[in-house]
Every structure is written in structure tokens, then in C-alpha cells.
């Protein structure tokens, strides 16, 4: 029996339901890595992954909480992971302005990127970070702090490769003894940023080709020849590249609010899924579109399930690929010391920047407590706090036969 959904989202369509319907028919051929990820998402919050059994100390009834998959492509799990990550990042925020810059690749490069995801994603993140750090050194004489987040999708799930950058409004002087700020409303001019970014990316792309690190298959096999590759790159990069700089955040708290929306975002969330029609083999979902600075327009799109599945798989990241990266002042090695030094220069006060310990309270994403109460869980029967852990149920074990005792 399927577990009954609990809470305000009980009637909301889930991505797992859509993927299950898409895989039930004759799905398109899938790469082994993609099929592995899809199977993980389908198992999320089901008895297949096991879970924990609790007993209410008030009414005495038992309650089964299934494990979540924790996969970074899963819309069910990313909220919890984002909150834990943000708690750690809060310790690194400085009392300064922060800027938001977006670097976007031209769509003419999409076919090459699809066949060379890992190296091209690394190149995009590297070119964007090097551009900003170089502007910081040359224009301000400082080391900026950067947090970069790779996104690969548009609202309609087509490939749209871009990187969001959170940039400190100033940086540590190169001698490490002072802090220099940028203007309050202005970081760097976007046209020079775009020019330098394009140059760095194209130079890196040429190095990848020369060193034989790019692969070309099927319709792109002709690009293995130098002349054809050069012509394709000239065609793909002939137009101006898009670099967008947003106004600075109002303060560090607003930076965290922004990061909570972008860092652990997945290609599509459950709330955008409107209607699944298994008989017709279609899924309708909502999306937003906008032109320039006009308000967003809300629209809907209907896709056949195989096409939806293909689009979703476009955004499954390569194994072990790190999509959130820190550079400069915020680079991982020595970050705590550099941030502490910057805080002393800015405020004259020292503050601990160690990461907060992980929460020990069990929840649907990391329910692994083996003793005591779980104050995060309400009894689904009497509605009172006071569920006490009874036992851990390991993978592939069955949930209780009564579906009312199951939650998702």
C-alpha cells in the first residue's frame, strides 16, 4: 500500500509520481548514472529505504517515518540540506554589502556542453571566478570573496547554463592589513566583465580541445577536426555574452535569504507540477517568463512524459561534481582565519567562525536518532508532541500494514 500523505501538501503532485509514470511506459534510453539517480528519487520517503518507528507517549499509537534519499536532485530533500548549509554559511557573513552577478553561456555551445558536462562545467565556474578575482586585484587591489552556484536549466527545463555569483562588496588588501570597499551601488561594469569572461572561457575551451579532453559523438563527430571546431566556436560565440549584475543586497540577512532560494535548488519542484495524465502520457507544469525588467508572466506548459524525462535528465549532475564553490577570501583552505581577520579589520571585534554542529534532532531527512523524544514530530493521531523512538527499520523493510500510520 502507498503511504498516505500528511500535512498541507497531501494533494500536491510529486516529482516522484511523474518520474514513476514516465518510466512505466517505454522510457527513452537512459545513461546508467541517470537511471541510478532516478531510482533513488523514486525510493525517497518510501519503505524501500527503511525508516524509524515512533510511539506516542500520550495515545500509545505507533507512527512510521520513512527515510529520505538525501539526493541533491530530489526536491523533497533539498530544503533540509539547504537549511543546514545556510546555518554554516551564516558564520562567514561579514558586515558589508554583497553583490549578485550572473554569467550565462550562449546557447550555441549547448550541444558541446551536453557531451562534455564535467569539463565544461568546471570551465564555466573557473572562467567566472577568475574574471571576478582578476577585476578585484586589478581595479581595487584586493582579494574578493566569492560563492558560485552552477545552474543548468531554464524554467521550461531546457538547458540554460549559467552561474550565480555572490561577491563581497570589497575585499582584503593584498598585504592583508586593510579592507577596501567598492561603491555602495556598483561593483564592476558589466561590459568589460563580459569581454574578459568570454576571453577566458574561449581560451580554456581551446586548451581543452588541444589537449584532447573534449569528446564528440554522433552529429558532433565532425568537430574532432580542428578547422570544423574553430568554425563552430566562432559561430557559437559571435554574439555578445550575457553578464548580469544585480543591485547589492540590503544586508547579510538578505544574502542568506537569496542563498536559501538558489544554492540547493533543483531543476523543478513539486509546487510547479500541476497535472499528471497517465492515460494521455502528459504532464502539465507552471513556469515564469520575463523580458528585461518587466514583471514575470506565469504560464503553463504540457509535455509528453518521455520528453519531460529527457529534459529532467539534462540537469542531472555528473557524479561527485561540486556545484557550489568558494573562491578568494572564501576559498576553503584557510577560510576561517581569513574571515576572522577581515572581521577584526571591519569591526575591531573577533567572532568565532567555526561551523555549528549538526542538529541532533531527528527529522524526515536525517531521522536516525535511537533514543529519546522527537520534538519535531507531532503525533498524526492525537496531534500532541511526544513521539518516542521505538526502533530503526532498515532498507527494504515494510512499513506498518495500516496506511494511516505512514507519512510522506
One-character DSSP codes across 256-284 = HHHHHHHTT--SS-GGGEEEEETTTTEEE
Contact 96, 169 (CB under 8 A): yes
pLDDT score recorded for residue 5: 36
Cα torsion 90, 93, 99, 105: sign: negative
> Mean pLDDT across the stretch 158-168?
95
Fold of 78-267+314-347: Replication Protein E1; Chain: A, (3.40.1310)
376 pLDDT band, cuts 50/70/90, is low
Q: Which residues, including other chains, have CB under 8 Å from residue 121's CB and lie 6 or more apart?
A: 113, 150, 152, 161, 317, 318, 321, 323
Q: Is the pLDDT of residue 384 over 80?
A: yes
Give the pLDDT confidence of 130-147 residue by residue, as tens digits: 999 999 999 999 999 999
| Mean pLDDT of the residues in the chain | 85
Instruction: Output the pLDDT for position 259.
Output: 76
Q: What is the DSSP string of 295-344?
A: PPEEEEEEEEHHHHHHHHHTTPPPTT---EEEEETT-STTHHHHHHHHHH
Rounded to two decimals, what is the model's pTM?
0.84
Phi, psi dihedrals of residue 76, rounded to the nearest 5°: -70, -35
Q: What distance, in Å, lies between the first and last C-alpha atoms of the chain?
A: 13
Do 156 and 167 form a contact (C-beta atoms < 8 A)?
A: no
pLDDT of residue 396: 64
Decide: residue 290, CB within 10 A, 0-12 exposed, 13-18 middle, 19+ buried: exposed
Amino acid at each position: 500500500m502507498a503511504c498516505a500523505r500528511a500535512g498541507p501538501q497531501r494533494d500536491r503532485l510529486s516529482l516522484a509520481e511523474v518520474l514513476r509514470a514516465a518510466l512505466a511506459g517505454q522510457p527513452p534510453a537512459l545513461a546508467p548514472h541517470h537511471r541510478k539517480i532516478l531510482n533513488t528519487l523514486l525510493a525517497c520517503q518510501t519503505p524501500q529505504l527503511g525508516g524509524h518507528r515512533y510511539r506516542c507517549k500520550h495515545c500509545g499509537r505507533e507512527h512510521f517515518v520513512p527515510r529520505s534519499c538525501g539526493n541533491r536532485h530530489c526536491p523533497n530533500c533539498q530544503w533540509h540540506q539547504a537549511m543546514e548549509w545556510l546555518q554554516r554559511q551564516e558564520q562567514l557573513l561579514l558586515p558589508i554589502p554583497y553583490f549578485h552577478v550572473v554569467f550565462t553561456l550562449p546557447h550555441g555551445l549547448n550541444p558541446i556542453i551536453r557531451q562534455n558536462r564535467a569539463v565544461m562545467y568546471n570551465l564555466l565556474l573557473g572562467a567566472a571566478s577568475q574574471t571576478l578575482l582578476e577585476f578585484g586585484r586589478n581595479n581595487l587591489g584586493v582579494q574578493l570573496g566569492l560563492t558560485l552556484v552552477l545552474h543548468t536549466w531554464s524554467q521550461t527545463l531546457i538547458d540554460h547554463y549559467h552561474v550565480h555569483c555572490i561577491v563581497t562588496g570589497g575585499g582584503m588588501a593584498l598585504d592583508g592589513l586593510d579592507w577596501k570597499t567598492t561603491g555602495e551601488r556598483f561593483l564592476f561594469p558589466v561590459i568589460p566583465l563580459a569581454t574578459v569572461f568570454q576571453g577566458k572561457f574561449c581560451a580554456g575551451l581551446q586548451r581543452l580541445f588541444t589537449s584532447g579532453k573534449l569528446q564528440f559523438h554522433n552529429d558532433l563527430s565532425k568537430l574532432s577536426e580542428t578547422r570544423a571546431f574553430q568554425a563552430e566556436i566562432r559561430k557559437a560565440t559571435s554574439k555578445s555574452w550575457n553578464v548580469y549584475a544585480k543591485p547589492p543586497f540590503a544586508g547579510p540577512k538578505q544574502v542568506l535569504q537569496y542563498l536559501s532560494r538558489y544554492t540547493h535548488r533543483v531543476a523543478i519542484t513539486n509546487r510547479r507540477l500541476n497535472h499528471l495524465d497517465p492515460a494521455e502520457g502528459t504532464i502539465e507544469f507552471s513556469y515564469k517568463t520575463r523580458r528585461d525588467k518587466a514583471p514575470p508572466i506565469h504560464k503553463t506548459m504540457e509535455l509528453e512524459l518521455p520528453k519531460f524525462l529527457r529534459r529532467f535528465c539534462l540537469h542531472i549532475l555528473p557524479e561527485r561534481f561540486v556545484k557550489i564553490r568558494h573562491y578568494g577570501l572564501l576559498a576553503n583552505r584557510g577560510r576561517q582565519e581569513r574571515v576572522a581577520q577581515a572581521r577584526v579589520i571591519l569591526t575591531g571585534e573577533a567572532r568565532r567562525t567555526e561551523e555549528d554542529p549538526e542538529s541532533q534532532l531527528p527529522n524526515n531527512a536525517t531521522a536516525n536518532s535511537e533514543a529519546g523524544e522527537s520534538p519535531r514530530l507531532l503525533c498524526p493521531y492525537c496531534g500532541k508532541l511526544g513521539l518516542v523512538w521505538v526502533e530503526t527499520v532498515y532498507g527494504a523493510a515494510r512499513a506498518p500494514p495500516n496506511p494511516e500510520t505512514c507519512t510522506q
